[in-house]
Amino acid sequence: MIQVYKIPVPKEKLQAMPEDQRVSFLLLGYAANQLNFYTKIAIFCSNRDSNNETEQELSSAQTEMAVRLVIGSLHEAYNLIQLRFMRAPRSRLYTPLLDSAGQEAFTRLKKTFKPKNMFAKMRNAWIFHHPQKTNEVTQAFEDAVANPEWDKEWNWFCSHSGYNSFFFASEIVAIQGIARIVGETDLREEQKTRVKRVLRVAEDMRQLIYAIIAVLWRKYFGDELPAEGRIDITDAPGVLDVSVPFFVGMPSPSPADSAP
């Protein structure tokens, strides 16, 4: 059973906070929500195994895309922390108040997100937007063409439903472009290593965000976290029991057709 506690956040106390602190408090929660969502999606995608070779291939590509969303959200969350927490005098005021787990996570994250880190390079080239420099895509394309691992993979998969179609040739170039950034030639092994690393960094980011939120809560709301009530969730599936398939049957008309 999962126990969820409903914690009221008094809006009058939010209004009484200094504007910059209120903005930091709210944006940290927003960043945590995004990170939690994208991480769950990445885990759910990675749980999918299929005996169908095509579905397995496209499910793996879907997992790769989900992990990129986590990388992008981690990069944006760290930028937020840099802007609103790490700059003096706030860092000197609040860092000593973090709990031990938050401080340890903060130390690891500062090493992970050092200047010109891999997360930033991947985000700025291929994640949340498209490469701006033509030569970046051309080089990734040439690397992919020269890689015998992709010789049989230059395909499109087309279905009457757009949701079940996939431009795999384009994905090959993106994967190869990211591999060039991280300096990896064994793409399958690199993907496994990267997924594990990203999930570890996501856990550190979650610990740090929660620790900073706790500091601000104590400062502006008090030492207690008063629960208005408890909700018991008795039918939640296990995180490893949920999977996101690539292929999905579509109703007629499709959801897009019936949208207002």
The parent domain of residue 8 ranges over 2-129+191-237
Is residue 249 a part of any domain in this protein?
A: no
Is residue 258 a part of any domain in this protein?
A: no
Q: What percent of the chain has pLDDT over 70?
A: 93
Q: Where does the pLDDT of residue 21 fall: very low under 50, low under 70, confident under 90, or very high at 90 and above?
A: very high
Is residue 243 a part of any domain in this protein?
A: no
Which residues are bridge partners to 233 per DSSP? Answer: 2
Please state the domain count of the chain. Answer: 1
Amino acid at site 177: G
Rounded distance between C-alpha atoms, residue 39 and residue 191, angstroms: 16
Identify each DSSP E strand in 118-255 by its residue range: 229-233
Is residue 7 a part of any domain in this protein?
A: yes
**Digit-coded pLDDT (tens) for 82-127:** 999 988 688 888 999 999 999 999 999 999 998 878 888 888 888 8
Is residue 149 a part of any domain in this protein?
A: no
**Digit-coded pLDDT (tens) for 234-250:** 999 999 999 999 999 97
pLDDT at 131: 87
pLDDT at 92: 86
Identify each DSSP E strand in 125-208 by its residue range: none
pLDDT at 109: 95
pLDDT at 185 > cutoff 90: no
**Residue 164: CB atoms within 10 Å:** 16
User: What number of residues does the chain have?
Assistant: 260
In this prediction, residues 162-175 reach a mean pLDDT of 92
Is residue 166 a part of any domain in this protein?
A: no
Is residue 119 a part of any domain in this protein?
A: yes
pLDDT at 91: 85
Higher pLDDT, residue 195 or 189: 195
Rounded distance between C-alpha atoms, residue 68 and residue 205, angstroms: 16
Tell me the two tokens of residue 260: 């207002």
Rounded distance between C-alpha atoms, residue 14 and residue 25, angstroms: 9
Higher pLDDT, residue 222 or 184: 222
In this prediction, residues 142-150 reach a mean pLDDT of 92
Is residue 79 a part of any domain in this protein?
A: yes
Q: Where does the pLDDT of residue 259 fall: very low under 50, low under 70, confident under 90, or very high at 90 and above?
A: low
pLDDT at 88: 67
